Amino acid sequence: MISKAQISFVTSLQQKKYRKQHQLFVVEGYKSIVEFIQSPLYAVRQIYCTAKFSAKIDKISGNIKYEEISETDLKKISSLKTPQGVLALVEIPESRPVALGALNGEYTFVLDDLQDPGNLGTIIRTLDWFGFNKIICSLETVEAYNPKVVQASMGSLSRVSVMYEDLQDLYKRVDGLPIYATALNGSSIYQDTWAAPGLIVLGNEGQGISEVSLEASTTKINIPKLGQAESLNVAIATTVFCSEIARKKL
């Protein structure tokens, strides 16, 4: 039986300050937890599961501690309206500066102050689908370990390294690497103006690209507008860019 102290501890991890304090975040759902157990990027600290999943968890948990709890208690520690039977505490990896050598010869997506956790989670899932294994976020971008981000990524966070950087400092350190800022007045992504691999910067949902990113950019690019919509969702825009990169490679 899970104690009141454990319930309080797990539920506290729904808040950023406690995730940062304890360097832990929550993952829910059997499939996602399996992916984090298999991930070289993360370490699973503790698993809670209902009797329905106990045998499955016993087979895959290895040396990871797990505890069988009631569905009532799982509801107390879950952030979901309908808990999925399994919940894990996963260690937040140590933050390291972006390795500049890893950026050469590749397209790397940079998120400039994104605020919506659903967008970030969807972007991580999209990048995973298209074979990207890293993403760079500004310091003001929503935290990758927010429960809504983790849930929206559908396990893809286990394979995509999310790095947070001061973008102004990053742009200074990547001298010579193309920086493509997505902007309404940019050239079409269907032209060859961004043929060389580099950084693709996507902006805030409401404000777009920051002045820092615009000033650092070597080229401005956009997705041509053919209809009447005012704007394109940033996660959808990411998918379009990923698809065009895949087309270039295939």
Indicate the pLDDT class of residue 231, thresholds 50, 70 and 90: confident
Q: Is the pLDDT of residue 184 over 90?
A: no
* Ranges 9-18, 112-121, 241-250: which has the least confidence: 241-250
d(Cα 223, Cα 2) in Å, to the nearest integer?
Answer: 51
pLDDT averaged over every residue in the chain? 95
Q: Which residues contact 61 (CB under 8 A, 6 or more apart)?
A: 37, 47
Query: Tokens 């690019």 correspond to what residue?
Result: 221
Q: Is the pLDDT of residue 228 over 80?
A: yes
Please state, for a pLDDT cut of 90, what percent of the chain lies above it: 88
- The stretch 25-53 carries a mean pLDDT of 97
pTM of whole model > 0.85?
Answer: yes
Contacts 24+ apart (CB under 8 A), 222-228: 222/182, 222/183, 222/184, 222/185, 222/186, 222/187, 222/188, 222/189, 223/182, 223/188, 223/189, 224/188, 224/189, 224/190
Q: What is the bridge-based pairing of β-strands 24-28 and 179-188?
A: unpaired
